[in-house]
């Protein structure tokens, strides 16, 4: 009998992680997407597993393969991701690294849209559920630690601090994705951790190192209760 008893500072902790982009269908052959590779969310899930956590990994169609040792939930749309996250609760912490599409096409066409002489399609949009905000606002099953990301430009700390308040989450990991930083699509990240203690700038490091550091911080915070 092989007993797989997790050990480590996150043993016995259940953590939900969202990752990757979402795909929002237009018709049976077309969709709206974004450029998220899923690299940061995948690295975070891997780091949490390495510290002994039970991880539910809810991912959109990412470029990078999913981590091992997680409960894998694959979704396409923001609404599916929302439902999968809610079904995964209760949890001790939630890390929302997915690049969720803000809008979906209001009415998905059930048949392929065709070119018609002289006409152009007009897409009407509807707003997707805000998964991070919804989880942070739960009364009964809110995880003790709710963590979001914010890719910002210009006044990164101000934007991220406002976003943290708007979402009602505990921490925001903000990164400056201005042109020239090489963060988008790259292997490195430059993080500012926004919490009720203020803004803490992390040195520029790889996404794997960001993941390890975050996992350790989550373990400490849950430990401290």
Cβ neighbours for 14, distance < 8 A, ≥ 6 positions apart: 53, 54, 55, 56, 90, 91, 92
Binding mask 77-96 for ligand CTP (x = CB under 6 A): -x-----------------x
Q: If DSSP codes are grouped into helix, strand and coil, which group holds residue 197? A: coil
* Candidates 34, 128, 175, 189; catalytic one: 34
Residue 96 pairs in a beta bridge with 18, 148
Contact flag: residue 44 with ligand CTP (CB under 6 A): no
Q: Which of residues 109-128 bind ligand CTP (CB under 6 A)?
A: 128
Q: Cα separation of 63 and 40, whole Å?
A: 11
* Residue from the set 102, 127, 200, 220 that interacts with Ca ion by CB under 5 A: 102
Segment near ligand CTP (CB under 6 A); pick from 86-94, 98-106, 182-190, 211-219 = 98-106
Shortest approach of ligand CTP to residue 4 CB, angstroms?
30
* Residue 189 appears among annotated catalytic residues: no
Q: Where are the alpha helices (DSSP H) in 51-171?
A: 78-88, 131-136, 156-167
Token pair of 202 as six digits: 């992390």
Classify residue 2 by its DSSP letter: -
Token pair of 4 as six digits: 């797989």
Q: Which of residues 132-171 bind ligand CTP (CB under 6 A)?
A: 132, 148-151
Is 133 annotated as a binding-site member?
no
Among 59, 70, 71, which residue's Cα sits nearest to residue 96? 59
Q: What are the catalytic residues?
A: 34
Rule CB under 6 A: which residues touch ligand CTP?
18, 78, 96, 98, 100, 102, 128, 130-132, 148-151
| Contact set with Ca ion (CB under 5 A) | 102
Binding residues for CTP: 102, 112, 129-132, 149, 163, 167
């Amino acid at each position: 009998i092989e007993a797989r008893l997790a050990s480590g500072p996150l043993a016995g902790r259940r953590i939900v992680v969202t990752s990757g982009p979402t795909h929002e269908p237009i018709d049976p052959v077309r969709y709206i997407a974004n450029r998220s590779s899923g690299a940061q969310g995948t690295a975070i899930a891997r780091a949490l597993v390495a510290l002994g956590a039970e991880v539910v990994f809810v991912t959109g169609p990412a470029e990078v393969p999913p981590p091992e040792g997680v409960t894998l939930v694959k979704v396409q749309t923001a609404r599916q991701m929302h439902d999968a996250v809610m079904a995964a609760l209760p949890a001790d912490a939630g890390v929302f690294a997915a690049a969720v599409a803000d809008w979906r096409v209001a009415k998905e066409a059930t048949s392929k849209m065709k070119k018609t002489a002289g006409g152009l399609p007009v897409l009407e949009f509807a707003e997707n559920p805000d998964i991070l905000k919804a989880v942070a606002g739960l009364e009964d099953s809110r995880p003790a630690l709710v963590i979001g990301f914010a890719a910002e430009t210009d006044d990164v700390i101000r934007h991220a601090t406002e976003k943290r308040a708007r979402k009602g989450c505990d921490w925001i990991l903000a990164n400056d994705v201005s042109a020239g930083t090489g963060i988008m699509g790259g292997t490195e990240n430059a993080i500012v951790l926004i919490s009720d203690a203020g803004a803490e700038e992390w040195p520029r490091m790889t996404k794997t190192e960001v993941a390890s550091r975050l996992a350790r911080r989550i373990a400490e915070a849950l430990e401290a209760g």
